[in-house]
Amino acid sequence: MIEQPRLIQLPKFLDKRGNLSFIEECKHVPFKIERSYWIYDVPGGQVRGGHAYRRNKEFIVALSGSFDVVLDTGAEKKLFSLNRSYFGLYVPEGVWRQMQNFSTNSLALVVASTLFDPEDYIYSYEQFKAELR
Ligand code: TYD
């Protein structure tokens, strides 16, 4: 069975001093975390991603502001709007991904299942479709 991308609701402690959410590996994030990175200061209209990973799985949280993640499994293309810091989007390996429509001052946290490896990237959509088969 090929895993599907999905939104995962995170714990949320509402507090008049300010709210708190968290993620734990292999629990809310369905893999062991090897790396974290974040995307910020995205100028209006810019698009990030436009590639797939062969092995790397990711979990994306809009810590601040909002943006859209367009995921294409080859069988289905879906747009996920992230705008709450207590939801994460799980993106399994082998999914074509693009991030767009970033709001001003948005902050995307991405936790990943592998260390950075340029060899893990598929940059051509044709190649992506070929490797799916
Ligand atoms: P890239 O993954 O291509 O960004 P995006 O998919 O959002 O367009 O990464 C941009 C640059 O940053 C690229 O030169 C590789 C580098 N990079 C790292 O060195 N380590 C990392 O963990 C990531 C995600 C990127």
* pLDDT, position 104: 96
End-to-end Cα distance, the chain: 14
Residue nearest to atom 22 of ligand 1 (CA): 116
Residue 63 C-beta-side C-alpha neighbours within 13 Å: 14
CA gap 107, 129 in Å, rounded:
30
| CA 67 to ligand 1 center in whole angstroms | 18
Residues with CB under 6 A from ligand 1: 35, 37, 39, 48-49, 51, 116
The dihedral built from the CA positions of residue 84, 107, 100 and 116, taken in this order, carries a sign that is negative
Query: Would you say 48 and 99 are in contact if contact means Cβ atoms under 8 Å apart?
Result: yes
Pairing status of strand 121-122 against strand 6-9: unpaired
Residue nearest to atom 17 of ligand 1 (CA): 116
* pLDDT, position 111: 98
Q: Which residue has the tokens 């990943």?
A: 112
Q: Phi/psi of residue 113, each to 5°?
A: -90, -10
Scanning the chain, the segments in alpha helix (DSSP H) are 125-132
3-state secondary structure of 127: helix
pLDDT digit string (tens) for the chain, length 133 residues: 679 999 999 999 999 999 999 999 999 999 999 999 999 999 999 999 999 999 999 999 999 999 999 999 999 999 999 999 999 999 999 999 999 999 999 999 999 999 999 999 999 999 999 999 8
* pLDDT, position 100: 98
Active site (catalytic) residues: 51
Q: Which atom of ligand 1 is nearest to the CA of 115?
A: 22
Q: In what order do the strands lie in the sheet with 121-122?
A: 77-82, 67-72, 96-100, 48-53, 121-122
Query: Would you say 113 and 60 are in contact if contact means Cβ atoms under 8 Å apart?
Result: no
